[in-house]
């Protein structure tokens, strides 16, 4: 029996390739997400130098004194911008906190955007002046790449060319930087770095991680390691995509397990691709089959519902 492995694809074959290359990429992307819920991009359109620079500043920020970091925590924001402290978040239906802390960067909206004042404004750490520019640049690069991926998924679903592009225009996407500190002294019997969960959004793009530990729950109920090399991007589908496609592209359960070495730390940087708040998540006509499994809901309503379930808003 061969061990299952998350499929590896070349995004540049889609961006720069022939029409045959593009068709092949669309087919492989769709089958990978359908079968595993995850794929790995071996190459892509994001400059690795931007990623490396961002990781430098992340390392610097999370090693500031706790009091300095807490200046950037606003519990009224539900973790949507700025800092969220250690053990604040838990997985849905799991009372045990995750062994992590994180920082959120959102979209910088134009003054005339209808979502100005709806999404929270970004917060920036004054201790690291370069942090803002580095993360604005990385956010924009991830955002652009996400539109390319969604366009390819849209082709597989027989959607109008700009369906997803319009849905994520002024979308509430989030770039999350996560620090998993050493686990020494923590309750590692009940808590792990990130307990089993599904992502809330359409797709997630995980750009680099400084240590292993990511696992997905395979279709047979076993946990499968998701191993990547530097410069690769892990892509998975979230609950919003699951609702849209009636589980044709299901949200796959995943987790980050505790390390063997309790003195080791881990950093990671997922980009959660969200639609704009008014986008509806109604079942797509091509996916209705024997009937829609989920009630109609907007992206904004669904996000708030899930933020309550994971303990970030009351």
What confidence tens digit (pLDDT) does each residue in 162-180 have? Answer: 999 999 999 999 999 999 9
What is the mean predicted confidence (pLDDT) over 80-88?
Answer: 88
- Cβ contact 124:131 at 8 Å: yes
Domain membership of residue 1 (yes or no) is no
Torsion-angle region of 143 (φ positive above 0: left; ψ -120 to 50: alpha; else: beta)? alpha
Domain membership of residue 152 (yes or no) is yes
The enclosing domain of 62 has a CATH number of 2.60.120.330
Domain membership of residue 64 (yes or no) is yes
Q: Which domain holds residue 33?
A: 8-309
- Cβ contact 88:97 at 8 Å: yes
pLDDT, position 312: 66
What confidence tens digit (pLDDT) does each residue in 17-29 have? Answer: 999 999 999 999 9
- Cβ contact 281:243 at 8 Å: yes
Residue 83's nearest CA partner among 70, 92, 100, 95 is 70
Residue 156's nearest CA partner among 41, 14, 4, 5 is 14
Total of domains in the chain: 1
Domain membership of residue 239 (yes or no) is yes
Residue 191 φ then ψ, to 5°:
-115, 140
This prediction's pTM: 0.94
Domain membership of residue 2 (yes or no) is no
Confidence of residue 91 (pLDDT cuts 50, 70, 90): confident
What is the mean predicted confidence (pLDDT) over 85-104?
Answer: 87
Domain membership of residue 269 (yes or no) is yes
CA distances from 128 to 59, 61, 132, 134 (A): 11, 7, 8, 11
What is the share, in percent, of the chain residues with pLDDT greater than 90? 72
DSSP helix/strand/coil, 252: coil
224 bridge partner residues: 216
């Amino acid at each position: 029996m061969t061990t299952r492995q998350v499929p590896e694809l070349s995004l540049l074959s889609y961006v720069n390739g022939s029409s045959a290359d593009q068709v092949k990429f669309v087919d492989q992307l769709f089958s990978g997400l359908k079968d595993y819920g995850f794929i790995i991009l071996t190459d892509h359109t994001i400059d690795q130098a931007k990623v490396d620079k961002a990781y430098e500043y992340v390392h610097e920020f999370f090693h500031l004194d706790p009091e300095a970091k807490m200046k950037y925590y606003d519990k009224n924001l539900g973790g949507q911008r700025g800092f969220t402290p250690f053990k604040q978040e838990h997985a849905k239906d799991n009372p045990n906190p995750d062994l992590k802390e994180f920082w959120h960067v959102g979209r910088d909206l134009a003054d005339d955007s209808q979502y100005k004042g709806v999404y929270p404004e970004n917060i920036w750490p004054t201790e690291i002046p370069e942090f803002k520019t580095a993360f604005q640049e990385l956010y924009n690069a991830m955002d652009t790449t996400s539109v390319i991926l969604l366009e390819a998924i849209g082709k597989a679903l027989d959607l109008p060319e700009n369906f997803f592009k319009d849905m994520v225009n002024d979308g509430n996407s989030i770039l999350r930087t996560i620090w998993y500190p050493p686990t020494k002294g923590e309750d590692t019997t009940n808590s792990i770095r990130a307990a089993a969960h599904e992502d809330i959004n359409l797709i997630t793009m995980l750009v680099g991680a400084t240590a292993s530990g990511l696992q997905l729950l395979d279709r047979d109920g076993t946990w499968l390691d998701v191993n990547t090399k530097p410069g690769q991007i892990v892509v998975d589908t979230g609950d919003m995509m699951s609702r849209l496609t009636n589980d044709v592209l299901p949200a796959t359960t995943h987790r980050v397990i505790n390390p063997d070495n309790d003195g080791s730390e881990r950093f990671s940087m997922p980009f959660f691709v969200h639609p704009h708040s008014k986008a509806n998540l109604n079942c797509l006509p091509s996916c209705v089959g024997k009937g829609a499994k989920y009630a109609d809901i907007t992206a904004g309503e669904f996000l708030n519902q899930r933020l309550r379930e994971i303990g970030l808003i009351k």
